[in-house]
Structure 1
């Protein structure tokens, strides 16, 4: 019954989108329901700002609450598009696999990826939920989320290689170091013979929205190149126009 109510609410919104305005009776006819049912649906939508009553006679139109929802979708689309463009540019510039990741609980989830030239059969990271304590992107995101750090402090840290940090004290020190130097690294901590560097992607208000990561075989991204690679990545991120 609940699903049917959602379907009817969606149909009511579509009816108003098609006609501009409609009475309770017209919406009821479109939905094939009694006027009292249509009235309840419209009243519920109005309570959330998704429709508004135009006059005492019961004529309804779409509300400004939909603008709020639409702007959220637009913002996310912009994020995805800009993240992909940034990955493309970073991969081309550094000849490494580039990813943008966001925080999910205590994990990093990759939302975009581009592969650098000369890399054979790279791992596909998009959509992959990676361990926050063992990846550069995860460390960078955890470093800037107090709530996530509190959560992970109570967890058992799984070892993925012999280099993985498995003690919470060691991880907290690593995250503090990442905040201080403004980059994080994974030195064969998630996958053997694979290294990675991440930098934060900050919005104008200073909020860390995501992390930009480059990944490659150890010979292509050795530890002594981490700091200068991070510096180059920050410059490319700033040029995106969205992040600093």
Structure 2
């Protein structure tokens, strides 16, 4: 391998790594980032950040809002829907049942090695208004009910498992979430959850509905609980 070709490969790897880091920063930020803020977080010149964002926009990975702030694009959501198809197929009818029964948005959340990722969702069919959560949305495992469920699966000695986790105003401002563990093959960390506007509800009942759905999903995947 010549020095030129080696340098080209290393340069390409750096560019790819910077691009992936940029997408991670946009996706995990608790608030929308501007291009200058993205440049500062990456430690690069603004002109380079604008070129990155323009490329992302061309491929649908990032969208720029009227304010100029950035959010992940619909293309990433489409890619996320093609991940773990067998798991999504197993979970889909049970998430739909939970959603219709509780009249809440139901979520399947998995661990991607770094963060909790919403893999698929179900919204109640008869509700006048629903809360949307885009597949592909990521958040740290220290935040939100699904994240903490996954955290307890990853670090059970440090964070003992609970029957369910509850969070409010964490991942999505103004919303409440309840989550329970989901047992997957090879012990992969996962959770199912619901999100809803805060109101006086029986949290234990919601958790019981989720727990029953969790058992059914695991059984569909061939696991015995």
What TM-score comes out, normalization by structure 1 length? 0.50
What is the CA-CA distance between 1:118 and the residue it aligns to?
Answer: 1.8
Confirm or deny: 8 A CA contact 2:184 2:190 kept in the other structure: no
Q: Which has the larger radius of gyration?
A: 1
| Deviation of the 1:79 alpha carbon | 1.0
Q: Does 1:198 pair with 2:179?
A: yes
Counterpart pick for 1:132 among 141, 148, 165 = 141
Given that 2:116 and 2:138 are in contact with CA atoms closer than 8 Å, whether structure 1 keeps it comes out as yes
Which whole-Å deviations, capped at 9, do the CAs of 1:169-218 have from their partners, x for residues lacking one?
xxx6xx43xx0x3211112223333100111111478x354100111000
Question: Cα–Cα, structure 1 residues 131 and 81, in superposed 2: closer, same or farther, change >3 Å?
Answer: same
List, as ranges, runs of 4+ consecutive aligned residues in structure 1 with deviation greater than 3 Å: none
Contact 2:183 2:214 in 1 (8 A): no
Alpha-carbon contact 1:96-1:214 (below 8 Å) kept: yes
Q: CA 1:81–1:189 in 2, change beyond 3 Å: closer, same or farther?
A: same
Question: 1:1-244 residue pairs with structure 2 within 5 A?
Answer: 76-116=84-124, 117-118=126-127, 120-146=129-155, 175-176=159-160, 179=161, 181-203=162-184, 207=187, 209-219=189-199, 222=200, 225-240=202-217, 241=219, 242=221, 244=225
Q: Residues 104, 218 of structure 1: CA spacing in aligned structure 2 closer, same or farther, 3 A cutoff?
A: same
In 1, the alpha carbon distance for the partners of 2:167 and 2:122 equals: 19
Contact 1:141 1:208 in 2 (8 A): no
Give unpaired runs (5+ residues) of structure 2.
2-82
Q: Deviations over 1:117-173 (max 9, x none)?
A: 425252233111123222111110011103xx99xxxxxxxxxxxxxxxxxxxxx6x
